[in-house]
Amino acid sequence: MEITRRGFLKGGFVLGGLLAFDSVFIETLRVTVEETVIKIAGLPREFEGFKICQITDIHHGMALDIGYVERCVRMANELESDLVVLTGDYVESNKAYFPEIIKTLARLDSRHGLFAVIGNHDHYAGAEAASRALEAEGIPLLNNGHVVIESGGAGICLAGVKDFMEDLPDATAALKGAPPDVPVILLSHHPDYSEALPPGTRIDLVIAGHTHGGQVRVPFSNYAPVVPSRYGQKYTGGLVRLASGAQVYVSRGLGAAILPVRFNCTPELTLLRLVR
């Protein structure tokens, strides 16, 4: 059958329309649970199989309904995690959305609680408003600070730093007073801070977000034309091993920034399983 120019153009418009519909109305809501095994040298036996759920980059606002976040919270609770970490960008740009989104996230369940850091969009909206919303729901904010997570007499250190773009992250300050010779997990909204970690400081795993996987990826590949990182494709998403021995996990996140579009890059609910 001969294909006319008009027919070809018509087919192209139809296909383009379908792809646009998918990227805005379907793929942005099709959440994938990404489970990754993280091997940590010296991990106490009591933490073998320890499960960490990460939620990041929701960008709640007019373009994202709270019902979607509630569904993500239910999905996360089904994972029965030992720990939940929130790594920033809770809202897109309006501080009025902080109370609603943080109250919803406070329904997350885990054996050892929830801990948070804030991201650059939280600063754009108002870092103090973000801090107040977290405090109101009893969610500890690790602003260049740490806690020790204990299990069966053993422990791991969970630290968090301020945002790399809009504040002054300081891993040295975050780890001040931390017990020596225990595994260290660092929460940093921006993965690029991993490249600025103080030499000689023990950090086994950095958990980050920010890049959204690029939001739009070339079909049949993980290549994203636009990645908000000075290191490009390195921090598009997934597990990265640094020369220092530290590992960095970058989540694609649950929301979208600037435009509510995702293509070949589904939203991610992250489950990290620690092993020795």
Give the pLDDT score at 29.
Answer: 79
Superfamily of domain 31-275: Metallo-dependent phosphatases (3.60.21.10)
pLDDT tens digit at each of 276 positions of the chain: 444 444 333 333 332 332 333 444 456 679 999 999 999 999 999 999 999 999 999 999 988 999 999 999 999 999 999 999 999 999 999 999 999 999 999 999 999 999 999 999 999 999 999 999 999 999 999 999 999 999 999 999 999 999 999 999 999 999 999 999 999 999 999 999 999 999 999 999 999 999 999 999 999 988 999 999 999 999 999 999 999 999 999 999 999 998 889 999 999 999 999 999
The Cβ of residue 110 has, within 10 Å, a number of other Cβ atoms equal to 19
Contact 167, 193 (CB under 8 A): no
Each domain of the chain, given as residue ranges in start order, spans 31-275
Q: Which two tokens stand for residue 149?
A: 């997570």
3-state secondary structure of 9: helix
The residues near 201 (Cβ < 8 Å, ≥ 6 apart) are 171, 172, 175
3-state secondary structure of 43: coil
- What would you report as the CA-atom Rg of the chain, rounded to the nearest whole angstrom? 20
Q: Which two tokens stand for residue 98?
A: 């902080």
Side chain identity, residue 45: R
- Ramachandran assignment for 44, one of left (phi > 0), alpha (psi -120 to 50 degrees), beta (any other): beta
Give the pLDDT score at 16.
Answer: 35
Helices 98-105 and 66-78, axial angle in degrees (round to 10): 20
Contact 182, 241 (CB under 8 A): no
3-state secondary structure of 195: helix
**Distance between CA atoms of residues 1 and 179, nearest Å:** 74
Say how many Å lie between the first and final Cα of the chain, rounded.
Answer: 62
Burial state string for 200-231 with b = 16 or more CB within 10 A and e = fewer than 16: eebbbbbbbbbbbbbbbbeeeeeebeebbbee
**Distance between CA atoms of residues 172 and 106, nearest Å:** 29
